[in-house]
Structure 1
Amino acid sequence: MILRKEYWFEAAHFIYNHPGKCRNLHGHSYKLFVSVEGTPDVATGMIIDFDDLSKVVVEKVIGRLDHRFLNDLIPLSTAENIAVWIWEQLKPDLPQLCQVEVFETTDNCVIYRGA
């Protein structure tokens, strides 16, 4: 079974080696989906409590990226590299993590399932 929760953050960045307009400083309203996979616990009936998931995601990711300049943490801050960075922040505390989805715009998304 897969459990998925949605988050948002606002951030600015530029892609220094981009041949077009994305080389300039700009911002996005990012949407993030975090998915964990497992079998629901017999006693609780849950894979993980949504609140427990959010505590990890907010502490490890949202609190560090929201209203920030992404290049300070992820120098080549493409959607692909942001997804990998998010995975690396979450996986140690969420061993059942199976996928992150990073929407840079409403119609541009990267899905990462780990290396």
Structure 2
Amino acid sequence: MVYLTRLEHFNAAHKLYNPAWSKEKNESVFGVCANENWHGHNFDLFVTIKGEVDEDTGFLMDVKKLSKLIREKVIAKVDHKNLNLDVDFLQGKICSTENLAMGIWHQLAPHLPENVQLHCIKLYETARIYVEYFG
């Protein structure tokens, strides 16, 4: 089994807010992240796939194709967007980094070649905060 990771980067704004709660409760739970004027992050996205190396190419997957898949299915939807308002796969969800990582998984997993599996989505919100999701 070989593991291959591709790093991509995107910028996006969001706020943490539960619409079922009062403004006061949201501010109590989420603090400044519930700011009505949003806030942004420079996200680093690590997509790790796994599988067996193809004997004919020596690749698990052509990294150019993996990069194109990530850019088309994820980056185009989230880069320089408001995650709460603009991203279809986050509609109806609290826009936490955890939910974003799970959403990214579901955007990518069905589009990988048969011999390749998604192993991990690692999403850095800041240099000190990241989420790992293994499906």
TM-score, length-normalised on structure 1? 0.95
**1:47 corresponding residue in structure 2:** 60
- Structure 2 stretches lacking a partner, 5+ long: 19-25
Displacement, 1:23? 0.6
**2:32 corresponding residue in structure 1:** 21
The question of 1:30 aligning with 2:48 is answered no
Aligned residue for 1:35, secondary structure, equals strand
Q: Which has the larger radius of gyration?
A: 2
Q: Which amino acid aligns with 1:23?
A: A
Q: Which amino acid aligns with 1:91?
A: A
Aligned residue for 1:32, secondary structure, equals strand
TM-score, length-normalised on structure 2? 0.81
Superposed structure 1 runs of 4+ greater than 2 Å apart: none
Q: Please identify which structure carries the higher helix content.
A: 2
The question of 1:83 aligning with 2:96 is answered no
Q: Count residues in correspondence.
A: 114
Percentage of pairs with the same residue: 42
Q: Which amino acid aligns with 1:88?
A: H
Displacement, 1:96? 1.3
Q: Which amino acid aligns with 1:103?
A: Y
* Matches of 1:93 and 1:41, distance apart in 2: 18
- CA deviations over 1:38-68 (Å, ceiling 9, x no partner): 1110000000011010111000000100000
